[in-house]
Structure 1
Amino acid sequence: MFGSQEKMVSRSLCVLLALSSASTTLAGRVQKDYLVVPPTAYGNRDAVKQIFVDSYTAYKKFAFGHDDLLPLSKGFSDGRNGWGATIIDAMSTMQIMGLDDWFNEAVEFASKIDFSKSQTNDTVSVFETTIRYLGGLLSAYELSGKKHPVLVEKAKEVADKMAFAWQTPHQKIPYGFLDFTTNSPVIDTSNIAEAGTLDLEWFTLSKYTGNDTYRALTEGSVREVASIPPPLPGLAAQGIDPATDAFVGAYVTWGGGSDSYFEYLIKYARLTNTDDNLFADLWHTAVDSSIKFLLRESPVGNHVYLADQNNDGQIVGVSSHLACFHGGNWILGGRLINNDTIVKIGLDLVDGCWNTYASTATGIGPEVFRYFTTNKTDPSNQRQITDAQRKFNDEHGFYITAADYILRPEVLESNFYAWRVTGDTKYLDRAASAIKSFNTYLVAKETGGYAGLNDVDDPSQGQIDDTESFWFAEVLKYLYLTFDDPDHISLDDYVFNTEAHPFIAPPAKPVYGSGAPNHPVYETAFVPSKVDAPLPAISPNRFAGVDIKAEVGVDINL
């Protein structure tokens, strides 16, 4: 019904190679040696800088001091507690682009933020506050030559408040949300992304404050997640309960709710240069299991992707813009553990995600998309789809289930890693195509800022009235660096947090990890405590009029 038998990417060969420690990769190096950009690249770099300038000019005019610009209604929103998320998130990009006046203004603004309480009635997300505010402040401190100690002081101030997410001295995994007024956590389940995407930032804070407690708290959370028997080797379940240290459900994904937990395993090994192989080997195990159990090719077009495994152990042909970070992460990690096969599959994943951009009318990819598989029990094959979705799949190898674009970075992030590691100019061409699409479809005529799209395959459906702070922190930074001198913010000198804030890394070790996946022996077998797992709150605009459980397959707590 869906064409030729689904290929498994030469599965047996890939598994054998992924398990092997032999490789021709130059150990310790991530970027391609002697990489240079062609002269034409600098015009594109300047075009990206102009997009940043236009976007931030609109923010300054209509929303300065608030979290987000509303580029269509000429207003603002405060979904990140009203501390000026766009300003803090944009600082590292300003420094990289040489926008010194704006950077100095941002330092002055940051010095006056009152982190003792939320400026809104909302609770505080430990995850979002860590990656945007804490990460943004500390990266800006480093990138500006450590000339502004007030940035570390403010980072410490907000981290000291977030530390109340560990309710007792014996609690290993923090609660996801806090009331800053009462210093009390919201007692609720969480997910592994929220529990395991803190250690890069808190380790860096320990480095500059001399207080190792920050590192110990967040590293301890990762170690606790790693100690719980998972549904698949190395692949922790998405949901987790900080009160019981048990997984919630059995959903396995590289998408939202799990994504940056896996991302940080290998990045933490690199940033800390720890001699403990736990982090690199656990990442290697997760990748190895993903190759064995989740890696697929679409029957149409042979596009490589990572499927999910649902609570019932079924493989589900679903993916998302969020999940498309995985290609870049596999490329980085493959280089660090000296495994060319993982790098190669990472590049295939990058191509698969780029196909979601190349296939739409705007040249921009959708939020959620699905693949048909040859597994008759796959829920993707049992969904009722429209004739238009079926036609789209027959042409492009996937079909869209949530068509919006909220200015996400992940596809261009992975494209950046692919360029810096291979030097293949097709990645420059793709980035240039994205610039053209952004300038064609995202410009908000009301303010001169940039706005997302309700439907990437039908721009007549209009724009989304929100400019998330990660537009400044991630999308425009990765695009700019793609066309910049590769020695500027080299992947051999910096580690990016999940919000694209670069941290200075020590000289690289020859190799990370033991060279083989680590399959620990657990005292008990995997036992889920509940059926469904939550996803992190991402953007309130993302979920308007969309049945998330139907699209993603799990419940969501907002």
Structure 2
Amino acid sequence: MDLREEFYDVVEEVCKIDFAGGKGGVDMGRYLGGLVAGYDLSGEWGLLERAGELGGLLMEKGKGREGTRTGAWLEFTRLGQLIGDKKYCDTVSGEVDVLEEGQERTKLRGLWPVKGTEGDEVFGLGKGAEGVYGNLLKTAALLGRGREGRLERMWKEAMGVAEDWLLFRPMLAEEDRDEIGDRRDVLLVGEARMNGDEVETAPKVQHLGCYAGGMFGLGGKLFGNEEYVRIGEQLTRGCAWAYGAFPTGLMPEVLEAVPCEGDWRDGPCKFDEDKWRKEGSRKLRKPFKSVKDPKYLLRPEAIESLFVMFRITGNKEYQELAWEMFQSVVGATETELAFSAISDVTVHGLLKKLDSMESFWLAETLKYYYLIFSPPDLISLDEWVLSPGAHPFRRDSSGFITRGFDEPPRPKKKKKKKPGVP
């Protein structure tokens, strides 16, 4: 965009911020990501100095509070690489230790539950889980091929279970088949629910889970697994299809769809009118069962996957889908001053706006819409990793800071007793 003058005006103001007065948490992690990415992109030393200050504050605020920094894996790792301080990577490594131990103990071994009690857990890739799986993969990508060690193993184990229990095919109606042509090979991410020792796949879909298409595709490219790239394409098309299936051209926060019978690997199924009449909703387009939360909050997950899959495959279909989605988003959400979340994507005619515009609209959603239509060497995925907050971090090839990710944790040394002390 060549907004250099504006950028340096912002840098000057950022250097005046007193981060010590903040409360910590997710927002502070996002600020850290912005500072680190700003330095990686510009080389402006003042941004790295402020990042070091903020990183130190977050370390202090998070002491003794499990999970406080989990959302800042990439931010801490890249900061440690840039300033040469191992404590940041070791902090992330400690959080990986906890997750690794827990991964082997859950009822659905390989995945971490998002809610519920033992024997009644719910597993998914959406709310409560999106940061974990995305961070595993993207931290591995940041560290570089051959140095990601257990991050790769943990992510692959999780996705293997996700393949078996979380993915499903919606039972597309015949008009959808005609309308979307070769785009009909779609998948969606549902939930797995435990009922004692029994596992059931529930076709409950969250917009938050739409990042999974890009995640599978990126993991497939990073680890040389073409099957995962193919799954990434199917999931990405699935969310794009869900956008177009509602009168506003927007996907709701949470929906349920009538699934195909059998294994999703068997391919698209024939529409079953009797099954639809038993399970579907007459108020919605086939094959939907219900819309649990009809809001659209300007979320970035679907366009993120379209961007990643376009960069991975070069298939212009993803640009076409992105443009269709963008036109729908602007048409439904634009106001005189900004853009607003809307209350219900299922209605025809006048839409109720919620007078709300989350920060991720500018920080993530619009960024991905901009990048998918930009030259592929702008934030090339060969050279950059985009964090879950869409901050671009340069992939480091120096080999600095790898312990803790590709080695098991070291045992603590016992302190030697002083003579005369029992």
TM bucket, shorter chain: 0.7 to 0.9
Match in the other structure for 1:267: 138
Q: What pairs with 1:240-259 in structure 2 (closer than 5 Å)?
A: 250-259=121-130
Q: How far apart are the structure 2 equivalents of 1:213 and 1:248?
A: 37
Q: Which residue of 2 aligns with 1:391?
A: 282
CA-to-partner distance for each residue in 1:426-453, whole Å, 9 max, x for gaps? 11111111232233222112x2x11121
Aligned length: 369
Report if aligned partners of 1:300, 1:393 keep a CA contact under 8 Å in 2.
no
- Tell me the distance in 2 between the aligned counterparts of 1:474 and 1:263: 15
Aligned to 2:255: 369
Pairing partner for 1:294 from 160, 166, 174: 166
How far did residue 466 of structure 1 move?
Answer: 1.9
Q: How does 1:76-475 map to 2 (within 5 A)?
A: 97-118=1-22, 123-125=23-25, 127-130=26-29, 132-144=30-42, 146-147=43-44, 149-168=45-64, 173-174=66-67, 176=68, 196-228=70-102, 229-238=105-114, 250-273=121-144, 275-301=147-173, 303-312=186-195, 313-373=199-259, 390-391=281-282, 395-397=286-288, 399-445=290-336, 447=337, 449-458=338-347, 460-475=350-365
Contact map agreement 2:143 2:397 (CA 8 A) in 1: no
Q: Distance in 2 between matches of 1:140 and 1:264?
A: 20
Letter in 2 for 1:139: A
Task: Tell me, yes or no, if the aligned pair for 2:32 and 2:75 is still in contact at 8 Å.
Answer: yes
Which of 390, 395, 399 does residue 505 from structure 1 map onto?
Answer: 395
Shift in Å at residue 154 of structure 1? 2.2
Deviations 1:272-313 (A, max 9, x none): 126352001111111111112222112345741122123534
- Scaled by the length of structure 2, the TM-score of the pair is 0.80
Q: Partner residue of 1:45?
A: none
Check conservation: 1:418, 1:427, Cα contact below 8 A.
Answer: yes
Question: In the alignment, is the contact (CA less than 8 A) between 2:294 and 2:343 conserved in 1?
Answer: yes
Q: Distance in 2 between matches of 1:266 and 1:247?
A: 27
Tell me what 2:266 maps to: none
Deviation at 1:472, TM superposition (A): 1.2
CA distance in 2, matches of 1:267, 1:452: 29
Question: Contact 2:136/2:152 (CA < 8 Å) preserved in 1?
Answer: yes
User: Counterpart amino acid of 1:224?
Assistant: V
Q: What is the Cα deviation at residue 258 of structure 1?
A: 0.6
Give 3-state SS (helix, strand or coil) of 2:281's partner: helix
Residue 375 of structure 2 is matched in structure 1 by 485
TM-score normalised by structure 1 residue count: 0.61
Separation (CA, whole Å) in 2 of partners of 1:220 and 1:497: 20
C-alpha separation in 2, matches of 1:303 and 1:211? 45
Following the alignment from structure 1 to structure 2, what is the Cα–Cα distance between the partners of residues 504 and 434?
29
Which amino acid in 1 is paired with 2:383? Answer: D
Q: Which residue pairs with 2:272 in the alignment?
A: none
Q: Can you give the 5+ residue segments of structure 1 that lack an aligned partner in the other structure?
A: 1-96, 177-194, 241-245, 376-385, 510-519, 521-558
8 Å CA contact 1:298–1:398 kept in 2: the answer is: no
Equivalent position SS for 1:221: helix
How far apart are residue 162 of structure 1 and its match? 2.0
Structure-2 residue corresponding to 1:40: none
Query: How far apart, in 2, do the equivalents of 1:362 and 1:374 lie?
Result: 25
**What letter corresponds to residue 278 of structure 1 in structure 2?**
R
1:220/1:387 Cα in 2 relative to 1: closer, same or farther (>3 Å)? Answer: same
